[in-house]
């Protein structure tokens, strides 16, 4: 071998395999990692649900393995996709008593699109109702053929509760790692995918990444998402301070002034891999063809959950039928809800949604005084359950601005049985097709607790004997309502919404 070849070979090192744990909610992903790491991560999660991505490294048979634990709820699809792209191997966790579920299928898609090797962990195999063959059959329907079904995918029956099969699972990871020949150059170009990023109240911007190539050192100048930083400190998952992070090592970095995007690469400053700066002036709108737009400020504890909350709200607009509004993401960021967030929402009569962050009482009071909705949530379930009602309510509130007002003077009953209400327009205009509400007192004197006697629309408008489309202020007209209002009488007030 030439001297050049020997030098190249000396620089090449075997790095730890990067393994992502994926699967359906409650199938036991975090419990398996608990069993492997001999810690109890799940007990620290609100409601037992993993809320963000974490990276951990273990040593097994004198070899290191780096794990990424991804959330299982459907709202975190993007986070699972980012995790898959960072990994060499995907552990697909499927509960033996439940089988292949929607997020199992999503995880399979992410693993395949990322080019990761799949190992199936059939969890809860100790339960009496466990049915591993049903799991394998379901996987076959998704074109994942395990070895005893004629395929090449390793499947291991495990129990996170008893520890059954965990050693076999780890042995499988090492075997696949050997086949993949995961070599890299510690002196080569730095590439470290960001697994998590957040704004910590005490530390500032905290970024978690895994070194896939090269090394990261304290004092090194790096860049990600167009943001430059000088590494102030490196910390591993056990809280130990490092001077240098080697290949395959998960590490927390302090040094960024702004929160970079989850999934982006950290690279050396000046590298050709450096990502162009983001256009922060762009405001994203979902459902642009709608007549109404609801502006939303989103704050979350981490960049990953921020992305998931944004995707959940966008999905409500794009997947729901009959919603009359579009959604404008006015501002999205990590950290607690601040005075500027409320002021920004107030400027466009929007709302503020927080996920796993605080809203200090003075800020909450400010929001109440200015009639700005500002709510925080601790689980994605709560947020999704309330979000549609919250957004729809805000859209309807926008529609409640007075566009026309009239008072009913006299009723005319037609031979068909329909009732025409003779009214005088006192403000604005009445239009055919307009949505209206009817009250028993002047709408200008209404309180927030008052509700309309009727809500419907104007089917027809008449001025004299002629049907018209619009009747303006100080004019009298006849209006036919749809649906009919049996309680209609003279003296009531009509208000266009």
Stretch 62-86: mean pLDDT: 70
Q: What's the total number of domains in the chain? A: 4
* 179/136 same-domain check: yes
Last residue of a domain, one of 351, 383, 399: 399
1 falls within a domain = no
Instruction: Write the CB contacts of 415 (distance below 8 Å, at least 6 apart in sequence).
Output: none
Same domain, 161 and 18: yes
Q: What's the mean per-residue pLDDT of the chain?
A: 82
Percent of the chain with pLDDT over 70: 82
Domain membership flag for residue 380: yes
167 with 54: CB under 8 angstroms? Answer: no
For residues 58 and 34, membership in a common domain is answered with: yes
Which residue in 122, 77, 71 sits closest to 98, CA to CA? Answer: 122
Same domain membership, residue 198 and residue 110: no
Per DSSP (E only), the strands in 211-346 are 216-217, 221-224, 227-230, 233-235, 241-242, 244-245, 250-254, 265-268, 284-286, 292-300, 325-334
Chain mean position to CA 403 = 36
How far is residue 439's CA from residue 489's CA, in Å, rounded to a whole number?
11
3-class DSSP assignment, residue 305: helix
Q: Based on the fold, state whether residues 49 and 165 are members of the same structural domain.
A: yes
Rounded Cα distance between 20 and 117, Å, is: 10
Looking at the fold, whether 381 and 307 belong to one and the same domain comes out as yes
Q: What value does the mean pLDDT take over residues 199-226? A: 90
Which domain range does residue 235 map to? Answer: 192-268
**pLDDT the model gives residue 10:** 47
pLDDT of residue 277: 38
One domain for residues 263 and 288: no
Q: Give the C-alpha separation, 94 to 25, whole Å.
A: 10
Q: So what's the pLDDT on residue 257?
A: 92
326 confidence band (pLDDT: 50, 70, 90): confident
Claim to verify: residue 379 and residue 395 sit in the same structural domain: yes
Neighbours of 265 (CB within 10 A): 22
4 band by pLDDT with thresholds 50, 70 and 90: very low
Rounded Cα distance between 259 and 10, Å, is: 37
| Residue 230 pLDDT > 70 | yes
Q: Are residues 22 and 128 in the same domain?
A: yes
Q: Is residue 79 part of a domain?
A: yes
Last residue of a domain, one of 358, 382, 399: 399
- Residue 478 has a pLDDT of 93
Asked whether residue 408 falls in the same domain as residue 394, the answer is no
């Amino acid at each position: 071998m030439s001297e050049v070849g020997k030098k190249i070979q000396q620089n090449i090192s075997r790095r730890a395999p990067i393994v992502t744990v994926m699967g359906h909610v409650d199938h036991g992903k975090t419990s398996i990692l608990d069993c492997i790491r001999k810690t109890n991560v799940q007990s620290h999660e609100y409601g037992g649900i993993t809320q963000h991505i974490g990276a951990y490294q273990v040593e097994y048979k004198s070899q290191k393995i780096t794990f990424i634990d991804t959330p299982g709820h459907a709202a975190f699809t993007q986070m699972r996709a980012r995790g898959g792209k960072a990994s060499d191997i995907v552990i697909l966790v499927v509960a033996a008593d439940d089988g292949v579920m929607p997020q199992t299928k999503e995880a399979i898609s992410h693993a395949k699109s990322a080019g990761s090797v799949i190992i199936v962990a059939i969890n809860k195999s100790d339960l009496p109702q466990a049915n591993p063959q049903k799991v394998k059959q379901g996987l076959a329907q998704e074109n994942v053929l395990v070895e005893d079904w004629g395929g090449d995918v390793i499947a291991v029956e495990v129990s996170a509760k008893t520890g059954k099969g965990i050693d076999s699972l780890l042995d499988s990871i090492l075997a696949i790692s050997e086949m993949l020949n995961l070599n890299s150059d510690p002196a080569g170009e730095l590439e470290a995918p960001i697994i998590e990023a957040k704004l910590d109240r005490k530390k500032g911007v905290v970024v978690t990444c895994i070194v896939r190539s090269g090394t990261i050192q304290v004092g090194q100048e790096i860049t990600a998402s167009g943001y430059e930083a000088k590494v102030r400190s490196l910390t591993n998952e056990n809280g130990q301070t490092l001077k240098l992070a080697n290949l395959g090592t998960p590490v927390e970095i302090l040094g960024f002034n702004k929160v970079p995007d989850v999934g982006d690469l950290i690279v050396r400053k000046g590298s050709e891999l450096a990502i162009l700066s983001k256009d922060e002036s762009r405001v994203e709108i979902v459902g642009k063809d709608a007549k109404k737009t609801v502006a939303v400020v989103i704050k979350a504890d981490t960049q990953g959950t921020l992305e998931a909350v944004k995707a959940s709200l966008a999905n409500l607009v794009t997947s729901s039928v009959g919603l009359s509004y579009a959604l404008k993401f006015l501002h999205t960021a990590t950290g607690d809800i601040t005075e500027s967030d409320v002021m920004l929402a107030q400027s466009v009569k929007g709302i503020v949604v927080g996920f796993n962050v605080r809203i200090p009482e003075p800020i909450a009071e400010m929001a109440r005084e200015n009639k700005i909705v500002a709510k925080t949530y601790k689980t994605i379930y709560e947020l999704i359950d309330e979000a549609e009602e919250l957004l729809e309510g805000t859209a309807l509130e926008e529609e409640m601005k007075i566009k026309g007002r009239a008072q009913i003077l006299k009723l005319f009953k037609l031979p068909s049985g329909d009732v025409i209400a003779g009214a005088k327009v006192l403000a604005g205009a009445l239009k055919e097709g307009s949505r209206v509400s009817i009250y028993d007192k002047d709408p200008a004197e209404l309180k927030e607790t008052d509700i309309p006697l009727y809500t419907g629309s104007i089917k027809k408008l008449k001025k004299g004997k002629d049907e018209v489309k619009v009747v303006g202020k100080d004019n009298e007209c006849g209006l036919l309502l749809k649906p009919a209002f049996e309680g209609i009488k003279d003296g009531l007030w009509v208000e266009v919404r």
